[in-house]
Amino acid sequence: MVANKNYEYDIKNAFAMSRFFFRLLGIWPFARTNSIYLELIETVTLTFLCIGLIVWETISTLLYMFLILTDFHLRLKFTGCVVYSLVGLIKYGYLLLYKNQVRNCLMLVDEDWRNVVNPSDRIAMIDRVRTGKRLILICALFAYLTGLTFRIVMPLSLGKIVTPQNVTIRPLPCPAYLVILDVQRSPTYEIVYFLQSVSGFLKYTIVMATFSFVTICGMHFCVQSEILVTLMNDFVNESRPENLNRKLATVVEHQIKIRNFLQVVQSATQYPSLTEVLGSTSMLCLVGYYVIM
C-alpha cells in the first residue's frame, strides 16, 4: 500500500538526473526493462567500454611518458592525465563493487517517498530535490564544459606544431604512444583523438554519477532531519497526555531510520570519497608544481 498518491511521479523526479548518469555508465542498480538478458547485455557492454577506454588511454599515456620522454620534468607534466584517469577508474570500480549498497541507499529513499503522508513533508522533500538538481546541474556544467574545452577546443585551437627538427605534430588531448602505430598519421590520429574524447566524456560522467548519488543522499538526509525536528516540536508542544507515547515513539522511529540510512550511505560512499580526496589533493599539488615550473 502506497501512502503517497504522487509516489511514482515524485520518485521519478527525485532520481531523474542520477539515473541518467548511472545509465550512461551501465551501473544503474534497478532494472529498466523486463528482459534480464537485454539488461545484462547492455550493462556488460557499457562496463567493458568504460573500463576498456580508460585503461587504454592510461596505458598509452604511460608508454609515451616512459618510452618517448626522457626528461623527468616533462614526465611529471603529463602525470596529471594519468592520475585523473586512475582516480576515475578506481571510482568506477567502486561503483561496480558497491552496486548493492547504492541500491540499498536508493531503496531507503524510495521507501520514504512511498510512505510520506504529510503534505508539508512532501513539499519539503520536493524542495530539497530541486536544490539537489541545481547543484548537480552546476557541477555538470563545470565538468563537461571544462572537459570539452580541454579535450576538443584546446587541441584544435593549437593547430599543427612544427618542431625545431621540422617535424609536424598534431596535438592530442593526452599524449599517446601505440608502439606499432604512428598516432600522427591519418586515420590513426583521428581515431585516437575520437577515442580520447569519448574516454574523457566517460570520466566526467563518472564524476557526475558519484556527485549526483552523494547529492541525492545528502539532500534526503537534510529533509529527513527537518522532518525529525518538526516531529520533536510536535511532541514538545503536545498538550494531551494520551498522545505523548505515540508521538515519542514516532520521533524515536524516525531518528533510528535516519541513523540507519546514514550507515548505509557511509558504507557506499566512504571509499569513493577517500579516492576523490586523495586524487584531488594530488591534482592540486601537480597544478602548483606546473605553475612554479
Model pLDDT, residue 21: 95
**Beta carbons of 16 and 130 less than 8 angstroms apart:** no
* 134 φ, ψ (degrees, to nearest 5): -65, -45
Provide DSSP, 124-154.
Answer: HHHHHHHHHHHHHHHHHHHHHHHHHIIIIIH
How does DSSP classify residue 67?
A: I
C-alpha span between 77 and 174 (Å, rounded): 11
C-alpha span between 3 and 11 (Å, rounded): 13
**Beta carbons of 113 and 13 less than 8 angstroms apart:** no
List the grid coordinates of 11: 520518485
- To the nearest 10°, the Cα dihedral for 206, 210, 212, 214? 180
> Would you say the pTM of this structure is higher than 0.75?
yes
Q: Residue 33: how many CA atoms within 13 Å on its side-chain side?
A: 10
How many other CB atoms sit within 10 Å of the CB of residue 84? 21
Q: Which amino acid is at 220?
A: H
pLDDT digits (tens, 9 = 90+) for 161-179: 777 777 778 888 888 999 8
Q: How many residues does the chain have?
A: 293
Residue 75 in this model has a pLDDT that exceeds 80 = yes
Give the 3-state secondary structure of residue 167.
Answer: coil
C-alpha span between 54 and 57 (Å, rounded): 5
pLDDT digits (tens, 9 = 90+) for 8-36: 999 999 999 999 999 999 999 887 766 77
pLDDT (mean) for 39-52: 91
Of 282, 288, 260, 228, give the one whose Cα is nearest residue 90: 282
Determine which of 120-129, 153-162, 212-221, 225-234 has the lowest per-residue pLDDT on average. 153-162
How does DSSP classify residue 181?
A: S
C-alpha span between 132 and 220 (Å, rounded): 9
pLDDT (mean) for 89-100: 92
**pLDDT class of 40 with cuts at 50, 70, 90:** confident
**Beta carbons of 64 and 175 less than 8 angstroms apart:** yes
Provide DSSP, 227-289.
Answer: HHHHHHHHHHT---GGGHHHHHHHHHHHHHHHHHHHHHHHHHHHHHHHHHHHHHHHHHHHHHH
C-alpha span between 57 and 207 (Å, rounded): 17
